[in-house]
Amino acid sequence: MAVMLKLSLSYLGRSKIQNSFIALLILLSTLLLSTAVMILANTGNQFREMHTRTNGSHQILTFDKGLNDPKAVHTWWASQEGVEVSELLTYQTVSGISFHGMDIPNIYLYMMNTPSTPRVVDKLIFSSGTPEAVPEAGSVWIPTSMANAYGVSAGDTIGFKTGSTTIELNVSGTVVDVPYGAPFTNTARVWMNPSDYSEHVQSLEGNDNYMLGIHFDDYSSNLNYWERYSLEAGSPFLETKMEFESISSFYLIINQIIGFIMIFLGVVMLAIALITIGFTISDAILANYKTIGILKSLGLTSAKTIGTYVMQYSMLSGIAILPGLGLSIWISKFIINISVSSLRVGNRDISVEGTGSAMLVGVFLFAMILLFVVMYAKKARSIRPVQAIRYGMSELDNSRMARRMNSPLTSLFGFARLPVAAVIGVRHVIKTIKSSILMLLLTTTASSVLVLGYVLLSSITGIAQTAAQWGYDNANIAAVVVNKSTFPKEDFNQWIQEDARIKNAGWQGNMTGVISGDSSADTEGQSTSLALSVLEGSYQDLGFETLVGKNPAQENEIAIGVGVAESLDKDPGDFLELYIEGEKRTFLITGIYQAIANMSISGRITMEAMNTIRPNYSDFDAIFINLNNPLEAEIVAREMNHQFKDSASVVTQETLLDSVYTEAADILIYPMSLIGLLFILVTFIIIYSTCRISIRKESRTYGIYKSLGLTSRRIRLSIAMGISLLSAMGALMGILVGVYVLPILLELILADYGIVHLPLILNGVGIVLFACISIIAAALGSWFSSRVIQETSPRMLVIE
C-alpha cells in the first residue's frame, strides 16, 4: 500500500498541470450534469407550488361582450360543490404606460377595482410593499412580471394611458399574480384603490367589465360542470374563457428548454470526461511503459499497478466532485431564479429541490470514473518488462505504429512534397490517432453547442421574421381594441378604406369551441375545449401559415392546431364536429398549423362560418393591416394610434413581438452562455492534456528536430496547425449537428407546447464565427501544451 501511495503521489506531483486540468474537467462535468439534473427536477415545481399557495384559478372568465350576465354566472358557479370562485372583479382596460420619461405602448392592462374582502381564489402574494386589504389612495399594486420586464420598483410612479389623458399613480407594492403574471406576456392586472378606480377609471367613457376566477378541486372534471351550466342556464357561455393550459404554459416552457438542453449536454459532457480520463490513463501507461516494465521486473504486481491509478484518480475525483456539487447548487438557484423570476417573493431565492439528486450524480460520477480507471488501467497487466525496456511499448503496438506511419494513406499525403512544418503537424495528428478522434469529437460537440445557442437566441430575438411559423399573423400592423364600448369601428373602417397606403386588412375575433368526446376514442368521453380564431378576410393575405394543407376559406372549413390534430388523430380532408355557442357544426379540416399560443389547442374558421351561428357577427378584438410599402409601418401605426388612442392600441408587428420575446432571449442567454463557456474551457483542457501527453511521448523526436536546426517556435506552430486543421473539420461537423440535429431533439420538448417544427433563423456569418471559437480554443490548448519544447534543451529532450 505504501508503494502504491508513493507512486500515486509521484504521478500527481510529476504532472501537476495535467492533473490539475483533469481535476478541473471532472469538476466541470459534475457541475454541468448535476446542474442539469437539479433544473430538470425543479421544472414546474415553483409554478405548482405557487398555484397551490395562492389557490390559483384553473379558468378565468372575462365579461366584456355583454352576452352573459356576470352576476348570474357568478351565482351559479358559487353554488357548485367542488368549485371555488373569486369575487366578481370589476375592471376596465387601458393600453400603454409611461415610465421614466419613456412611452411603452405595447402593454395591455386590466385596471382592477380591488375588493376589500379577503380573496379565496388567486390570493395575491406580496413580493415588495406592505400587505394591505386594498392599495392606499393614489397607489397601485402591479404584478412581478410587469415589474421585472420594465424595471419598476415599489415607490416608482407610472403613468397609465387612458386615451388623451394619463393617470399618474405610485407603485406601493409588487405582487405575484399567477393568472396574469407569467413571463413573456404583455397583459397584466393593475390593482387600484376603489376610490381611485371610481375617480380615474370608472369616469372614463365606456362600461365596466367583469372578471371571475374558478378553481376546481378536480380540474379534469371542468367540462362536466360546463355541460351542466349550459343545460341549467339554457344557453352556452358566450364570453371569453382562459384555460389552465394557457395560464401555465409560459411559466413552464423556458425551464423545460433549459432543462432539456442542460441534461442532454450534461450527458455528452459526462461521456467526454470519461473517455478523456480513459485516454489519459492509456497514454500515461504508454508514456511510463518503460518505468512500469522496470517496476514489474522488480516485483510490483499488476494489481498494485492498477491500484496506483485507481488511488490517483480517486484523489483527483474527490477533490473535484465536491466543489462541483457545491457550485451546481448555486448555479441551479441562479438559473431557476431568473427563469421564474415572476414567482419570486422579495429578494428571497426560490426554494430549490433536487439536492439529493445532485449528490447521487456525484456518487454516480465517482463510481463511473473508478470503473473507467480500472477498465483502462488493466492494460498495465499486459506489460512485459523486456518489451517495455526495448520498445517503450508492446512489440505489437510498435509494429502497428510503424505500419501506420508507412501506410499508403500517409504516402497519399505526399509528405516528401509538403513543407516541413506541415509534415510535423500532420504526423502529430496521425500518430496519436485515438487522441485525434477524441479531439475531433470534442470540437464537433463544442461547435454544435455554440451554434445551437447562437441560432436559438437569434431565432427568438428575430421572431418577427418567422412570426407566421410560430402561429401568429405576418401583417405589418396590429390594432387591438382596448375599449369595445367606445371604439368607433365605422370611423376606423373608413380610415382603412381611404388610406392609399393600406393594402388589405382583416378583423379577428376569438371564440371558444368544444369538441365532443365522441370524436376520438382517446378522449374517453371527455370533451375538449379549444380557442377559435374568427377572421373577416383572408388568412393567406394576412400571412397565417400552415404546416400541412391550407387555411380555411369557406364557411364549412377549419384549420386546426397540431395539438388538436394529434389528440384526435385528424388529418386534412377529415371532418370535425364542433360545438360553437352550443350549436353543432361539421367542418372539413383543410389544414394543420402550429402555434405557441394556447399550445396549439386551437382552430381557425372564417367569419362566414360564425355568421351561420350568430348572424352579423362583429365581436372582433383586433385587426391586422398590411401596407403597400412595409417600410411605412411605423409612420402609419403612429398616425392611427394618435387618432384612435382613446379606445385602441395600434403598433407594428415587430414592436408587438419584440416586447414579448426579448425577455425570453434575456433569460436564455445566461444558461446558454454558461454552457458554451464550459464547452470552450473543456475543449482547451482536453486538447492541452492530450497534446501534452503525446508531446512527452515524442520528446526524443522533437529533440532531434531541434538539434537539426528547427526552432521551438516553428515546431510548436506546426503542432498547433495540425490540431487547428483537425478542429476545423470538427467545427464543420459541429455546424451540421447544431443546425440540423440538436434542434430536432429540442422539438421533442416544444411539441408539448404546440411547436413541432422549430422556426430557425440561420445567419451564415454568425454561425461560422461561433463555430470558429472551438478552433481557437483547440489551437490555444495545443500551443500552451507545447511550451515544454521551448523550455527544454535539445539534449534533455533526447535524453527523455
Task: Give the residue from 220, 242, 264 where a domain finishes.
Answer: 242
Q: What share of the chain is helix, strand, coil (3-state, %, to 5)?
A: 60, 20, 25
Whether residue 763 is predicted with pLDDT greater than 70 in this model: the reply is yes
DSSP string, 271-328: HHHHHHHHHHHHHHHHHTHHHHHHHHHTT--HHHHHHHHHHHHHHHHHHHHHHHHHHH
Domain count, the chain: 4
Distances (CA, A) of 427 to 186, 443, 621, 692, 789: 60, 20, 70, 15, 17
H runs (alpha helix) in 589-739: 607-611, 633-643, 653-697, 699-707, 712-736
Residues 494 and 443 in one domain: no
Give the pLDDT confidence score for residue 112 in this predicted structure.
Answer: 92
CA 292/CA 298 separation, integer angstroms: 10
Residue 425 placed within a domain: yes
Which residue, 181, 208, 242, sits at the end of a domain? 242
Residues 461 and 476 in one domain: no
Inform me whether the pLDDT recorded for 87 exceeds 60.
yes
As a whole number of angstroms, the longest Cα–Cα distance in the chain is 102
| Residue 199 is assigned to a structural domain of this protein | yes
Name the 3-class secondary structure at 115: coil
Residues 539 and 602 in one domain: yes
Q: Record the pTM.
A: 0.78
Burial class (CB in 10 A: 0-12, 13-18, 19+), 314: middle
Domain annotation covers residue 796: yes
Q: Name the domain boundary from 392, 422, 451.
A: 392
Please tell me whether residues 497 and 601 are part of one structural domain: yes
Say what the pLDDT of residue 503 is: 92
CA 389, 392, 393, 394 torsion-angle sign: negative
586 and 550 within one domain: yes
Q: Do 586 and 689 fall into the same domain? A: no
CB atoms within 10 A of CB 230: 16
Residue 483 reports pLDDT greater than 80 = no
pLDDT tens across 544-559, in order?
Answer: 999 999 999 999 999 9
Please report whether residue 397 resides in a domain: no
Same domain, 359 and 315: yes
Res 397 pLDDT > 70: no
pLDDT digits (tens, 9 = 90+) for 119-128: 889 999 998 8
Q: 232 lies in which domain range?
A: 59-242
Q: Which residue has the higher pLDDT, 376 or 577?
A: 577
C-beta separation of 622 from 479 below 8 A: yes
Q: How many CB atoms lie within 10 A of CB 249?
A: 21
Q: Is the pLDDT of residue 142 over 70?
A: yes
Place of cell 516541413: 420
Residues sharing a CB contact under 8 Å with residue 90, sequence separation 6 or more, in sequence order: 112, 113, 197, 208, 209, 210, 211
Asked whether residue 248 is assigned to any structural domain, the reply reads no
Q: Are residues 603 and 675 in the same domain?
A: no
Mapped onto helix, strand or coil, the DSSP state of residue 760 is coil
Please give the helix or strand (H or E) that residue 266 lies within, else none. Answer: helix 244-287
Asked whether 667 and 340 are in contact (CB, 8 A), the reply is: no
Distance of alpha carbon 413 from its chain centroid, rounded?
Answer: 45
The Cα 680–Cα 674 span in angstroms is 10
Do 262 and 341 lie in one domain? The reply is yes
| 35 phi and psi angles, rounded to 5 deg | -65, -45
> Grid cell 465517482 — which residue?
366
Q: Which DSSP letter does residue 394 get?
A: -
Q: Say what the pLDDT of residue 350 is.
A: 66
The answer on 565 and 430 residing in a single domain is: no
* 455 & 373 share domain: no
Place of cell 508492446: 394
Residue 247 inside a domain? The answer is: no
Predicted confidence (pLDDT) per residue in 571-589, tens digit: 999 999 888 887 888 999 9
Q: What is the mean pLDDT of residues 564-572?
A: 91
Radius of gyration of the chain, Cα coordinates, nearest whole angstrom: 33
Does 760 reside within a domain?
yes
Looking at the fold, whether 486 and 627 belong to one and the same domain comes out as yes
